[in-house]
Amino acid sequence: MLATAVPVRPGRRRLRAIEVLGGALGGLLLLLAAPHVALAEDATLSGGDTAWMLTSTALVLMMTVPGLFLFYAGMVRKKNVLAMCMQVFATCCLVTIIWMIVGYSLAFSGEGAYIGDLGRFFLAGMGVDTLKGTIPESVFMMFQMTFAIITPALIVGAFADRMKFSALLWFMGLWSILVYPVVCHWVWGAGGWVGGLGALDFAGGTVVHINAGIAGLVTTLVLGKRMGYGQENMAPHNLVLTMIGASLLWVGWFGFNAGSELAADGRAGMAMTVTQIATGMAALAWMFAEWLKVGKPSVLGIASGAVAGLVAITPASGFVGPGGALAIGIAAGVICYLASTSLKNALGYDDSLDVFGVHAVGGIVGALLTGVFAVESIGGTPGLLEGNPGQVWTQLLAVLATIVWSGLVSWIILMVIDKTIGLRVSPEVERDGLDIGLHGETVH
């Protein structure tokens, strides 16, 4: 059959012309829009991640003020309540400025194995468009600032009731330059040697808790015991304050652990889940251990157990599952209870509020058990139970490195301060109370 030409009507010609013109205009518009489309695809800022990290930052700051100072204030004697609040609050203020000037730069700028550089000195070069992953760098800096704040603030509980306020400010300032940023860079900074070994510390078992706990122990040993320790009644004056503080710590800790994922995703959700499980289990473990030993479960005991669980799950929170969290909680509750009672009594040191027993020991338990219970499908690294026994040894090396650096440098700082302005208040001030002696105020 021969093909027959079909005449094209004028209306069809106009329709075809409109289609061609429309296609050309569409292509032109797409071409003009292409740079904008590419820009949207290249941008890595995530509104969801940023919103979560802003929330997490506020939660972690809440852990220090008001959480930590209420937790500590309830455990000291009434004549030292205001001094305790002042020490924690002033530490927060001081470390904020130090972190802004030099701490953040030393911890997170540069790629040295042992320390950062001054590339972010006074936060130089940080603008509204500067990103750290999917969030603004300013948000990352603020989130890390809250860690830098709470770490030295934790140390305050170890030497409660006996350090001069001027000495405290010097110690916290120097420690926040010479100790915290160094360990932080080792573990979390680009090129840090501890992180390079493959040590796992999701939210601060070594950087925060072992670091603070060892410094607290050294401080108590250098300062010596409180007047009347072992002879006078030094029981907490208001456990309601302590329970309120512990509750604020518990809630704020979700920002601490789940926030350390730096994203609003499934791993952050798992970190939140295991944090809750470990905390509840540790509180019960401490409570039952105390109940069996002394015959009564105490309010202070269950609160201390919860904090021990929070501490121990911190390094593991982004690496373990619910089963591992349960085991970590049991170990933390029992071991931290024994460290804060039997061990302290046997060795005779005066760690006023059990900073070493809860934070150093809890941090060590958590760091080592991270190497046991780490799950490859969660954090990318298997632990001992998944056939990687070497991870435990890597964790141990990170623990030992933190203990040595924190202990040695803390001791040097304390010696310098003691030889210059002195560390300890006078016997009269200690007897009458730091509130009236150092600050001229009292609680009625």
Cross-strand partners of 131: 136
Render each residue's pLDDT in the chain as its tens digit; 444 residues.
333 333 444 444 343 443 433 443 343 333 333 333 333 334 599 999 999 999 999 999 999 999 999 999 999 999 999 999 999 999 999 999 999 999 999 999 999 999 999 999 999 999 999 999 999 999 999 999 999 999 999 999 999 999 999 999 999 999 999 999 999 999 999 999 999 999 999 999 999 999 999 999 999 999 999 999 999 999 999 999 999 999 999 999 999 999 999 999 999 999 999 999 999 999 999 999 999 999 999 999 999 999 999 999 999 999 999 999 999 999 999 999 999 999 999 999 999 999 999 999 999 999 999 999 999 999 999 999 999 999 999 999 999 999 999 999 999 999 999 999 999 999 999 999 999 999 999 998
CATH superfamily of the 46-438 domain: Ammonium transporter AmtB like domains (1.10.3430.10)
Q: For residue 260, what is the DSSP state?
A: G
Residue among 148, 132, 150, 149 nearest 140 (CA): 132
The single-letter code of the amino acid at 188 is W
**Alpha carbon distance 261, 318 (integer Å):** 7
Q: Where are the domains of the chain?
A: 46-438
pTM higher than 0.85: yes
* Element holding 174 (H helix, E strand): helix 165-178
Quote helix, strand, coil % in the chain, to nearest 5: 75, 0, 25
Angstrom distances, CA of residue 245 to CA of 72, 143, 337: 8, 21, 19
Ranges assigned E (strand) in 90-188: 131-132, 135-136
User: Quick count: other Cβ atoms within 10 Å of Cβ 50?
Assistant: 18
Residue 320: alpha-carbon gap to chain centroid: 17
Characterize the bridge pairing of strands 131-132 and 135-136: antiparallel
Which tokens hold the place of 170?
């010097």
Residue among 317, 152, 284 nearest 219 (CA): 152
Tokens 């700051």 belong to which residue? 61
Do residues 302 and 287 make contact, with C-beta atoms less than 8 angstroms apart?
yes
**Alpha carbon distance 35, 26 (integer Å):** 15
Which tokens hold the place of 95?
């470390």
